[in-house]
Structure 1
Amino acid sequence: MTIQRILLALVVLLAAGLAGSFYMNWKTLGQLRTVKAFVESSVFADAVAACERAQSTTPFKWTGGKQTAVIGVSSVKLNKDTIIPSYTLVADSVFCDYDPIKKKADIGSNFLERETF
């Protein structure tokens, strides 16, 4: 009888631990989505301006583009101890990667031909 009570208590503790872990994961992911949305909205205007000013054989026209899309924070590269985000915009099949740290935009016309950060 004692072993059954101990096993029941362990199962209850395990269930409570799993429930707590899933709840914390859900809360953390919600906060992460909020922070990502805030960062992307604060970088958007700078990214559009830098992409339209960037010199390239294929011009990037966000304001006059027929098909425009925001890919958002698309890739992150670990450079020693620094995390460098890349913000990507697409206008009429022309990709523009914007680095918010360097305030620099790189334009590529094809996803497979783009230079990776």
Structure 2
Amino acid sequence: MTFQRIMIALVILLAAGLGGSFYMNWKTLNQLRTVKAFVEQAVFPDAVVACEKAQSSTPFKWNGGKQTAAIGLNSVKLNKDTIIASYTLVADSVYCDYDPIKKKADIGSNFLERE
């Protein structure tokens, strides 16, 4: 009888722990989504200006473009110490990657192959 009570208590504690874990994960993901949206909104105007000023054989025209889209903030972790961030915009099938740290735009580049 004591063994059954101990097992029931352990199962209840396990269920409560899993429930608490899922709740904390849900709250953290919501906060991260909010922070990401805030950062994207803050970076967007700089990205548009830098992409329109970037020199390329294919011009990037956000203002006056027929089909424009903001793909958003991306990141790649090259090693344990280096994370490269990029904000990607598309205007009339011309891709522009904007690096918010270096404040530099690359038109038509492949984000994963950048330095």
Q: Which residue of 2 aligns with 1:11?
A: 11
Q: CA deviation at 1:23?
A: 0.1
1:25-36 equivalences under 5 Å are 25-36=25-36
Q: Post-superposition shift, 1:81?
A: 2.5
C-alpha displacement of 1:79: 6.0
Moved over 6 A (4+): none
Between 1:78-87 and 1:63-72, the stretch displaced more is: 78-87
Measured in 2, the distance between the counterparts of 1:55 and 1:79 equals 30
1:66-77 superposed matches below 5 A: 66-77=66-77
CA distance in 2, matches of 1:71, 1:86: 10
- 2:99 maps to 99
Task: Please give the alpha-carbon distance, in whole angstroms, between the structure 2 residues aligned to 1:76 and 1:53.
Answer: 25
Q: Which residue of 2 aligns with 1:61?
A: 61
Provide structure 2 residue ranges, at least 5 long, that are not aligned to the other structure.
none
Q: Distance in 2 between matches of 1:26 and 1:84?
A: 26
* Alignment partners' CA distance in 2, 1:17 and 1:76: 32
How high is the TM-score relative to the length of structure 1?
0.90
Aligned to 2:83: 83
Q: Percent same amino acid at aligned positions?
A: 80
Aligned equivalents of 1:89, 1:77: Cα separation in 2: 21
Question: In structure 2, what residue type is equivalent to 1:107?
Answer: I
Q: Distance in 1 between matches of 2:80 and 2:8?
A: 48
Name the SS for the 1:15 alignment partner: helix
Deviation at 1:77, TM superposition (A): 3.4
CA distance 1:80–1:21, shift in 2 (3 Å)? closer
Cα distance in 1 between the residues matched to 2:70 and 2:61: 13
Does residue 1:114 correspond to 2:110, yes or no? yes
Contact 2:70 2:89 in 1 (8 A): yes
Q: Provide the rounded CA distance (Å) in 1 between the counterparts of 2:4 and 2:79.
A: 54
The answer for unaligned runs of 5 or more in structure 1 is none
RMSD: 1.5
